[in-house]
Amino acid sequence: MGGAPGSYLIPPVALPGGATPMVQPQGFSMDYTGFPAGMTGAGGAAGTPYMRGGPPPGTPYAGAQTGYSTFQQPLPPQGMYGMPMGMQFATPFMMPGAMPGGMPGGMPGGMPGMVAGMPGAMPGMMPAPAVGAVPMPGVPGAPPMQQAPSNGGRPFPNPKEKLPWDEFDKFAEGEDYGPVLSTMLVHRMKARVEINPLILPPNDALDRDYLKWNMLFPTGNCQRSSDRPGRSWYNGRDAPATWPRVTHIRLISRSFPWALDVPATDHNVGVTCGDVIEAIHTSMYTRLSQQQYDHASRQQKRLLSESFYHNRSTAHGVPGGRLQQTLLRCDWLGQDTMFGGIVDDERLVREVCRDGIPCTFELKCVRRYPMTEAEVREQEARERDEEERSRRRSRSRATSRAPSMRSRPSTRPPSRAPPDDDSSTTS
């Protein structure tokens, strides 16, 4: 313990019986392989069954490594452990020519103490590192440096930032874009339900799509505002009506006194915009109950009578004689038969339902505006096409029924055959 050790290795000890350990002349064990060839200027030891000669192979995540090991290098012989100061030494962390105490022996710009061949150094400033010392990068004989990982010159993304592929449309079609909640679960979680902008009322700027539909007509007459004239609504029918998706919603209105339930056709998708429109159409074509008629005011009964005859007339904008000859719920609306959108009005819900019920919204019924000449021509063309299709269907049914009637055997019992002449004469 009086002096500094010569290396990191355990010094040889005397073995019992006078035997000496099998060591190499340099003091290393017999299975020590040392540095690969070319690292220290001397040939590396041959490989063993447990260790190959040469540097370890690289991996896809790190480049090729070197045979350098911190714990296989000799300690500095001077400058530490009470040795004289001021002498040059080399360690795995310092280059030769460093000042005592571990301070660097040179300054940038080629000052004395720098190694020849380094950037900014003048030739002949310092000899090459001694054998056993680790040369600094850039010096001849130094181990190759690994390149820092690059990202093509682009900064690494911040994990807290939203990238384009992290954002998606909340109202995208399909069953893989969010959970489907029941009404009870929405109430327990106190979830804030948002309505699809497609079925919201149109804004003043008219800068987003909305639905145009006279609720007196079937859902095939519903149109999207961005579609060309004469095209029925298709894009967005399977989009969820709410976010988060729910299995059931209820609609109330200031224009009629009943509630309208909208169940989901597919519980894996939830209530869609198409489900809402179809449920409204089914409700409007439902017969008005006697109880609802009896509870109507005198003014409402007069409106029902006028709407009944007007909706079944030949006027433009009404179905005409295709409606049933009985009071329907759509007759209750009078002139307010246009779909005005779905809104979330908590005050109306508490006023009508006496409490806040989740997934309950208001259906806006807007007054039917006079049709333009283009809309009149479009409706007339649509009615002619529908009449032509119904006429072709009835003609095809009659044609398909005729051969079956001809080939059907007669079911009348055979008449009694007249008696033979012989029997008549005999009698």
Per-residue pLDDT of the chain (427 residues; tens, 9 = 90+): 455 555 555 666 666 666 666 767 666 677 777 666 555 444 444 555 555 555 555 555 555 555 555 555 555 555 444 444 444 444 545 555 444 444 444 444 444 444 444 454 455 455 555 555 555 555 555 556 555 555 555 666 676 676 666 677 889 998 888 889 999 999 999 999 999 999 999 998 889 999 999 999 999 999 999 998 888 999 999 999 999 999 999 999 999 999 999 999 999 999 999 999 999 999 999 999 999 999 999 999 999 999 999 999 988 889 998 899 999 999 999 999 999 999 999 999 999 988 889 999 999 999 987 767 777 777 777 777 777 777 787 777 667 665 555 555 555 555 555 555 554 444 4
Q: What is the DSSP string of 89-108?
A: --BTTB-TTPPTTS--S--T
122 CA to centre of own chain: 61
* Backbone torsion region of residue 136, taken as left when φ is above 0, otherwise alpha when ψ lies between -120 and 50, otherwise beta: beta
By C-alpha distance, which of 186, 153, 4 is closest to 91?
4
Other CB atoms within 10 Å distance of the CB of residue 194: 14
Rounded (10°) CA dihedral 174, 177, 179, 181: -60
Q: Which residues contact 118 (CB under 8 A, 6 or more apart)?
A: 136, 138, 139
- Alpha-carbon span 38 to 41, nearest angstrom: 5
3-state DSSP assignment of residue 181: strand
Whole-number Cα distances in Å, 144 to 126, 149, 360:
21, 15, 71
Strands (E), 229-307: 242-243, 245-246, 248-252, 260-263
The number of CA neighbours under 13 Å toward the Cβ of 262 is 27
Helix (H, G, I), strand (E, B) or coil at 359: coil
What pLDDT is attached to residue 379? 72
Q: DSSP per residue over 149-160, as a string?
A: P--TTPPPPPTT
Q: Cβ neighbours of residue 375 under 8 Å, at least 6 residues apart? A: none
Residue with tokens 């029902």: 304
| pTM for this predicted structure | 0.55
Q: What is the structure's pLDDT at 276?
A: 97
Task: Tell me if residue 404 falls in helix, strand or coil.
Answer: helix
